[in-house]
Structure 1
Amino acid sequence: MDRGGCQMSGGGGGGGGGGDAIDQHGMITLEDLESFSEDQLSDSGNGSLEEEGETMEAEDGSDRLLHYWQEVARGHQVEVSADMAEPIQQLSSDNQGRSQREHIPFTLLLRKEKCGEQLYEKRHYEKGHWACITMREDTYEQSICYGFMRIMRYICQQNSLGDYLGMTLPIVTIVRTDENHSVISQDVTVAYYLPIEHQAQPPQPYDGEIVIEVWPAATVYTRGFTGPTNEVTIINQINAMAELLDSPGMCVNNSFIVAGYTNPAHSNRENEIWFLERR
């Protein structure tokens, strides 16, 4: 199915997450929403829920988490609806098992180094099922935010199993650029790799705009970077990677993947830029 090309073969649009709880561009990701426990909320300062008195004391944990994210998001022109309370709570409860998260399997083909510094890796990813949604909001950052939240609903309960599916890493966004790698398309595709136990029979989403796609096997050239992901940093990383490759023409030139591994609230979170080898 062609939705502007949400597949690893190179045809989607997308972007990344933020630097603080929600970064300066208003991005909320799955890792953001799961990262805040009750203790972290009480220590958040500057708008801490603990400071809101008896009203907040009467609310249960899911209400507290929802209220927190509504307050933060409002300052970034993003609305977090009331039906996000349960998914936010689910991912927060699952926070204890983050170290056991399932990573997307791959085979390392090559590691290019110079003077002891790793420049990039070449990897092979097998064919697999992904849940994808393409957003076209008023701004690039809003598309990322709302796309993640809808994928999160699917992961947490709004699926044909009616159950929590489990997190996999990385969560990816697909970035479409012009030929000069200077402008990122506003269309954003957010994609989630189905856990191994659900690959054979992927649970179907209730959200009609989330599509389960089989992405073909792909070879990618990947380079890690730390810090926030926004339009500026993504463009910079794309251009830096293109300079490192011996033959950049062997890769798709107008579609790239940004992979996020670490909670975006972390100041030095881990990301990768992926170039897709032409097939």
Structure 2
Amino acid sequence: MDGEGCRLNGEGRVGGRDGGVEAGSQSHHSGLITLEDLESFTGDLDSDFSGSPAGDNGEVMDFEEPDQMLNYWQEIGRGHRVNIPQDMAEPIQQLTMEMDTSQERERVPFTVLKCLDKVQVDKRRYEKTVWACITMREETYEQSICTGFMKIMRFICQQNSAGTYLGMTIPIVTVVQTDTSRSALAPEVTVAYCIPEQYQDQPPMPFDPDITIETWPSAVVYTREFSGSTNEASILEQIQILVAALDSADLNLSLGISFIVAGYTSLAATHRHNEIWFVDRGEA
């Protein structure tokens, strides 16, 4: 994998190709959606990854034009001081149409090496895969991952050299780093999307220069499931729980400050399926 890339272990570059996100850059104008905003109107949303809006009786609402769905999201967003930019109309429509089908989302493949049932941790091996990733530095963790994911959505939905909808894969992961006491998150957050299997050998290139295509090497990963929202406080709590579990299992791991949050459901879903990962860099 490129030494300047996002890296599965979280030690990648800050920002895009220019090495950072400047104050007042495009990312600050592309719409900030915090997870608190999204969680506050989950009753208006369906529970798949696209966050498809649902009507009063629970059925998915039908929007034939991209602007109709955008207006729906903007109307909700205004009530929560959230800006949904105009250029998100087509990506929102595309992702929702594709994900309202009965097709199962493509999952990042892995092999379970061991189940540590007593501490509710799985040991897995992930093979070498190609990812699209972007590192953001917004005011909060939630703003960083939401702004980064909107950029990834644009890449998935035709803003790529293939000129086609690439398809959704899960999980969407965010690579985070803590301070040495694991009591605070660093401001840089990397959002990453695994390129679908059919494009792994020749991945489409993003139009957005802030998005990079990286090959992540095979890795052994310790994972633990959790539910609920993913904000800075909950992520730090889950990191502490995972670290304590791994310490109690006497695995002799060299635990650092880099962790990964894996999300399998919409940021706006009522019932969230998440995982916290630790990558064992000492075991290939």
TM class by smaller structure: 0.7 to 0.9
Aligned match of 2:28: none
Q: Which moved more, 1:140-149 or 1:81-90?
A: 140-149
Contact 2:49–2:265 (8 Å) recurs in 1: no
CA distance in 2, matches of 1:258, 1:99: 24
Q: CA deviation at 1:264?
A: 3.1
In the other structure, the counterpart of 2:257 is 254
Aligned to 2:50: 34
Contact 1:70–1:79 (CA under 8 A) maintained in structure 2: yes
| Aligned amino acid, residue 259 of structure 2 | F
Deviation larger for 200-209 or 60-69: 60-69
The residue aligned with 1:155 is: 156
Q: 1: CA distance between counterparts of 2:123 and 2:203?
A: 28
Whichever residue aligns with residue 11 of structure 1, its letter is: E
> Does structure 1 conserve the Cα–Cα contact (< 8 Å) formed by 2:10 and 2:176?
no
AA partner of residue 196 (structure 1): E
> Which SS does the other structure have where 1:220 is aligned?
strand
Distance 1:277 1:88 in 2: 36
Q: Report the Cα distance in structure 2 between the residues aligned to 1:230 and 1:99, rounded to whole angstroms.
A: 29
Give SS of 1:180's match: coil
2:39 aligned residue: 23
CA RMSD, 1 decimal:
2.8
**8 Å CA contact retained: 2:141, 2:231:** no
State yes or no: 1:11 paired with 2:14.
no
1:105 aligns with 2:109: yes
C-alpha deviation, 1:265, in angstroms: 2.9
The CA deviation at 1:81 is 1.2
| Distance in 2 separating the partners of 1:86 and 1:231 | 30
CA separation in 2, counterparts of 1:74 and 1:178? 35
3-state SS of paired residue (2:221): strand
Consecutive unaligned residues of structure 2, counting only runs of 5 or more, are: 15-33, 42-46
| Residue type at the aligned position of 1:84 | M
Is contact 1:168-1:195 (8 Å) kept?
Answer: yes
Residue in 2 aligned with 1:211? 212
Kindly indicate which of the two structures has a greater share of residues assigned to helix.
Answer: 1
Partner of 2:123: 122
The one-letter code sitting in structure 1 at the alignment partner of 2:229 is P
The DSSP-based 3-state class of the residue aligned with 1:84 is helix
1:43 maps to what in 2?
Answer: 56
Q: Residues 223 and 134 from structure 1, CA distance in 2 versus in 1: closer, same or farther, beyond 3 angstroms?
A: same
- Report how many residues are paired: 253
Distance in 2, Cα, partners of 1:93 & 1:180 = 44
Q: Pick one of 86, 90, 94 that aligns with 1:86.
A: 90
**How far apart, in 2, do the equivalents of 1:78 and 1:157 lie?**
25
The equivalent residue for 1:234 is 235
Deviation at 1:205, TM superposition (A): 0.2
Name the amino acid aligned to 1:43: D
Looking at secondary structure, tell me which structure has more strand per residue: 1
How far apart, in 1, do the equivalents of 2:57 and 2:87 lie? 23
Identify unmatched segments of 5+ residues in structure 1.
26-30, 51-58
Question: How far 1:138 sits from its partner (Å)?
Answer: 2.9
TM-superposed deviation, 1:251? 4.4
Distance 1:220 1:24 in 2: 33
Report the Cα distance in structure 2 between the residues aligned to 1:170 and 1:225, rounded to whole angstroms. 14
Other-structure match for 1:28? none
Closer/same/farther in 2, CA of residues 76 and 278 from structure 1, 3 Å limit: farther
State whether residues 173 and 189 of structure 1, in contact with CA within 8 Å, keep that contact through their aligned partners in structure 2. yes
